[in-house]
Amino acid sequence: MARRTRDRLEMIRPADAGWSAPKVARHLRIGRKRVRHWIGAFLEGGFDALPEKPHPGQRSALTAEMRAGIRAEIGKKERTWTAQQIADWVAERFGLRLTADWVGKLLRRERLSYKRTSRSVKHKQDPEQVEAKAAELAELEQRAMLSRRMSAT
């Protein structure tokens, strides 16, 4: 049970036992007006009047088409993204300005994961070149060891 619903029930129980609204308010350390409101709501609508009602707020300017576009772009895996880069991409592509915080919340809600760029450039390295340079480094280290041995004798 939600905390607010439980609090409202705790207002109703003593009132049902004969307590006055001011006495309930003092006991629960809340306003008399609030106690009267919830007692009235209970008398009018019963237990169904007590739970929290949804507060939908303003409809999002980000449409299903835009969310699908974001999902497709992130799904390409051609690059790594930050929330700010996604927000900039949405502004460029759809003309809708979003904050990086909102993009992060949206992605979590949509169960999308974006990749934060890290300080590593490993993903940009050419594997063949890395292998060649590793072999070159090993050869140089071996030469250095040989020259140290020669100079020590």
Per-residue pLDDT, averaged over 101-120, amounts to: 76
Determine the pLDDT at residue 21.
Answer: 94
Give the separation between CA 67 and CA 73, rounded to whole angstroms.
10
Answer whether 0.85 is exceeded by the pTM.
no
Question: Which is nearest to 91 in space by CA: 102, 78, 77?
Answer: 102
Q: Domain map of the chain by residue range?
A: 3-49, 64-109, 125-152
Angle of CA points 139, 143, 147, to nearest 5° = 175
The per-residue pLDDT for range 37-52, each reduced to its tens digit, is 999 999 999 999 999 8
Give the separation between CA 153 and CA 139, rounded to whole angstroms.
22
pLDDT more than 90, % of the chain: 50
Q: Structure tokens of 65? A: 């088409």
Determine the pLDDT at residue 81.
Answer: 82
Per-residue pLDDT, averaged over 137-152, amounts to: 89
8 Å CB contact between 2 and 50: no
Integer-rounded Cα Rg, in Å, for the chain is: 32
Determine the pLDDT at residue 118.
Answer: 56
Determine the pLDDT at residue 101.
Answer: 92
Determine the pLDDT at residue 115.
Answer: 61
**pLDDT exceeds cutoff 90 at 114:** no
**pLDDT exceeds cutoff 80 at 77:** no
- Residue 125's pLDDT band (cuts 50, 70, 90): confident
